[in-house]
Amino acid sequence: MSFDCRHCGACCAYAASWPAFIGEGDGADIPDDLIDFEHGRMRCHANRCAAMVGEIGVATRCSVYADRPLVCREFQSGSEDCIMVRRSFDLGAA
């Protein structure tokens, strides 16, 4: 099972602690104003990543997609975590 992330975006707004940098060079090309240097992760407004554009569950995109953190690249559409996050935003599991 997988979902079209362009109509979701839930995992980009679930927890400020999620989009954290995990290795050397991770996030290197992301603009400074989108980075929370103190915590080593993406800047968030509440739980929503500052790089996300659009409306959750309708149409979203990552404004730094080509340079997004490793953790974002590894997050799998259709995984248990994906479904859990989608449910937290009242988005369906199928």
Binding site for ligand SF4 (CB under 6 A): 3, 5, 8-12, 19, 42, 49, 51-52, 62, 64, 68-69, 72, 75, 77, 82, 85-86
In the complex, minimum distance from the CB of residue 9 to ligand SF4, in angstroms, rounded to a whole number: 5
CB 8 within 8 A of CB 60: yes
Radius of gyration of the chain (CA): 13
Distance between CA 12 and CA 53 in Å, rounded?
10
With respect to ligand SF4, which residue has the nearer C-beta, 38 or 78?
78
Query: Residue 11 — φ and ψ, nearest 5°?
Result: -70, -15
Nearer to ligand SF4, 24 or 93 (CB): 93
Nearer CB in complex with ligand SF4: 38/72? 72
